[in-house]
Amino acid sequence: MTKRVAILISGGGSNMMSLVQDMNGDHPCRPCIVISNLPEAGGLAKAASAGIETLAIDHKQFGKDRSAFESALHDALVAAAPDIVCLAGFMRILSPAFMAKWDGRMLNIHPSLLPKYRGLHTHQRAIDAGDDYHGCTVHEVTAELDGGPILGQARIAIAAGDTTSVLAAKVLPFEHQLYPMVLRRFAAGDRDQVVLGV
């Protein structure tokens, strides 16, 4: 039975499009909706061009009432009835109460080799730390920020002189390769870690 996938974005949606473009043929999933917390997110137009239902729930309209925003987001997801929710460049921190409602059904991609560098500015932090390697991680989303079970990682070497933007550009193609590979497996019940890169 085909699994329905909702994808949450906040920006350009390159990871979302990688997932969408992979969900065809014998893939066990199909995208059912793309939702953004920013109406101006470029990924919404890309998703619409791909024939996917889109929705913007502007978090700014809810002011400081994060709970109201999360209720609106949850209601929109319930209406779309996804089997799996993929966070793909979604930049709002979701509460443990929200995550609990989607426990076991929500994935995220994070631009670091978790558990290193949870949170923001991961590329700069890896450079500042003098790390030899960096990369990205796909994990199940739990109440712990960027802390759920790891389902896949891609590792790259940090070269001398790499800037934050250079490193981000080196990691992003691996994100686009890793996330679709993990989603295919996760949808089929396979939780063996995917390992890519050096």
Residues with catalytic function? 110
Q: What single letter denotes the amino acid at residue 63?
A: G
Residues constituting the chain: 198
Is residue 164 within 8 Å of residue 127, measured between CB atoms? yes
Q: In the bound complex, what is the minimum distance in angstroms from residue 170's beta carbon to ligand GRF?
A: 11
Residue 157 tokens read as 């070497």
Alpha-carbon distance of 196 to 42, in angstroms, equals 28
| Angle, vertex CA 100, rays to CA 69 and CA 68, nearest 5 | 15
Cis before residue 115, ω within 30 degrees of 0?
yes
Q: In the bound complex, what is the minimum distance in angstroms from residue 116's beta carbon to ligand GRF?
A: 14
Which residues form the interface with ligand GRF (CB under 6 A)?
9, 11-16, 43, 88-89, 109, 111, 172, 175
Give the phi and the psi of residue 136 in degrees, each rounded to 5: -145, 160
Q: In the bound complex, what is the minimum distance in angstroms from residue 92's beta carbon to ligand GRF?
A: 11
